[in-house]
A and B are shown apart, each in its own frame.
Chain A
Amino acid sequence: MDTIKQLLSEIKRGNQDAFRQFFLQTYDRMKFLIIPYIGDEEIARDLLQDAYLLFWEIRQTIRDDSNPEALLYTLLRNNALNYLKHLKVCEKHSDFIQKNFMEDKLNYYALNDPVSENFFSEEILRIFDSVLKSLPEKTQEIFYLSREQGMKYREIANHLDISEKVVENHIMNALRALREALKEYIK
């Protein structure tokens, strides 16, 4: 497999196979990133489709030294923000504030914060990686079950035959370690 940066020059030349590789290498990560803000799978898939399509359409204008994954994320993020903005309009016309609307609002704040684009820098990805690796094995396992498999804390507790409180403590430790390591970025 070629690295994503190598693929960029091929994609710019209109090579669809290269673009397919890029798609397969990045799709799940992008979906993983957007789902927490959007919630709805169906809508997330469509937002992703449109972001990739736009990426393909503007391929010739992409600078050689740019990080294609970060660019794709920017396109995706814009699509997602537009979608959430649209929801905000819907909310104005609604008589009562639902919990979902509040969640959408929080997500809008988070996504609108430009810092998320920095998270694609190699340095930060490296920090994420080393922090997670430095955690106790059990904490790592619980973290991955929660993030990768999308399991609820209760499900993890059942799965590992421990109490929910213990699961929460492990997650808390992971959160604390990440916050500590990235404190400059999230200040």
Chain B
Amino acid sequence: MERSLIDKYFLEGLNEQEMSELLAWLEADESSRHYFSRMKNMWVFAGLSGVKPSDEAIKESERLFYRINKGKETHNKIVGRFTYFYRFAGIAAGILILLSSMLFLFLLSSKGGRESYYVVETKAAEKSIVHLSDGTTIWLNAESSIKIPENITRKEVNIYLQGEAYFDIPHLGGRKVVVHASDLQIKVVGTAFNVKNYPGEKEIETTLVRGKIIIEKSDGKKTTNLAEILPNQRFVYDREKQQGIIPAVVNFDNKREQDEKFVSLPHKEVNVTVVKKNEEIERYVAWKDGRFIFRSEPFEKLAQNMERWFGVKIINSHATLNKVKFNGSFEKESVEQAMHALSTSYPFRYVVSHDTIYIFSK
């Protein structure tokens, strides 16, 4: 009788009455308890073979690795980047913090006592504006850092950039300003321009709005002149090939590819009817006014920019999506609204979990 109760447990399940009967019996009799336990375990394990990896496994692995690496990364970031600054100093006057909850300012004195710098840093989803005494204004985008000499009116001013910044530098007679972006040097007279130099990205992009700049490359030994950039031109430098091009300014409306996806948002920021030359350039510098514009942007690249803009991590396991191109802009949207807008123009599934977004095919 009892054996058949166990069989029934595996076959059709027990009702409440039978369940308490079985439980009472197992509690009273140890050998029956063992028998039941082993049957149950056997029954569970018998289904083992042939289980395939699932979407959930992929998603859960990302969650695990995020947990494994989370503590480590933030730790390395701070220790790794600032080991060479040996003295913490007060904040220089004239620096306005805009959207930054945390701003690191360090006064750097090199061993030779040559020149003092301060450093401004932004985290993901942060931006800063730096006003300098000579009238120079620098907008610093997310996850960027900039090193500026304390004395900005010297004959030669060297500024070091990692990440993205927009510079508006007034013309001062006889002064030479050089912006260093990895192995590129951007020579400036009096001008407004944008430099995008994120270490993880393939290219360094320079966009000139006003004035004139000369771009040089240096490998430590010799310096090569690469290009002279005029207003509304961009210079795109490939780190790997070590060469750059000036892409033609395209009228966006005339060149709309078939596979491009347009994002419509409530505030209707997308304007594709008339795109003038200036507006075309505008999208590379719109970030400084709090707008995130993307045109014909493959998702892969868009996701990288969104990670910085929203301060999130995007994990995409939908490979074909990477090459799909999107157009649109975000201004006040939350990351959820942004993902929703994107997923309505091209179908994909996404899950937002804390500050990580997981993307799957539909």
Per the bound structure, the CA–CA distance linking A107 and B60 in Å amounts to 25
Report if B12 contacts A (CB, 8 A).
yes
Task: Count A/B pairs, Cβ under 8 Å.
Answer: 138
Per the bound structure, the CA–CA distance linking A97 and B9 in Å amounts to 18
Contact A49-B60, Cβ < 8 Å, known A144-B50, A148-B51: yes
Report if B44 contacts A (CB, 8 A).
yes
Report if B39 contacts A (CB, 8 A).
yes
The minimal Cβ–Cβ distance linking A1 to chain B, given in whole angstroms, is 10
Report if B61 contacts A (CB, 8 A).
yes
Contact present for A49 and B64 (CB under 8 Å): yes
Contact present for A175 and B43 (CB under 8 Å): yes
Report if A16 contacts B (CB, 8 A).
yes
Interface size class of A (residues with CB under 8 A): 35 or more
Report if A72 contacts B (CB, 8 A).
no
Contact present for B39 and A172 (CB under 8 Å): no
Contact present for A113 and B65 (CB under 8 Å): no
Main secondary structure of the interface of B (DSSP, over half): helix
Contact A128-B45, Cβ < 8 Å, known A27-B53, A49-B64, A186-B38: yes
The chain B residue with its CB closest to the CB of A28 is B51
Contacting B at CB under 8 A, from A84-120, are 97, 99, 102-103, 105-107, 109-113, 115-116, 119
- 23 intermolecular pairs with C-beta atoms under 8 Å apart: A16-B65, A24-B61, A28-B51, A28-B52, A29-B51, A36-B43, A45-B60, A49-B67, A102-B23, A106-B9, A109-B36, A109-B37, A110-B40, A113-B38, A115-B41, A119-B45, A128-B49, A148-B50, A148-B51, A153-B11, A186-B39, A187-B35, A187-B38
Interface residues of A (CB under 8 A from B): 16, 20, 23-25, 27-29, 31-33, 36-37, 45, 48-49, 52-53, 56, 97, 99, 102-103, 105-107, 109-113, 115-116, 119, 124-125, 128-129, 131-132, 143-144, 147-148, 153, 168, 171-172, 174-175, 178-179, 182, 185-187
A-B interface, 6 closest residue pairs, ranked by CB to CB distance from nearest: A147-B47, A186-B38, A113-B37, A110-B40, A27-B57, A116-B41
Interface residues of B (CB under 8 A from A): 7, 9-12, 16, 19-20, 22-23, 26, 33-54, 56-58, 60-61, 63-65, 67-69
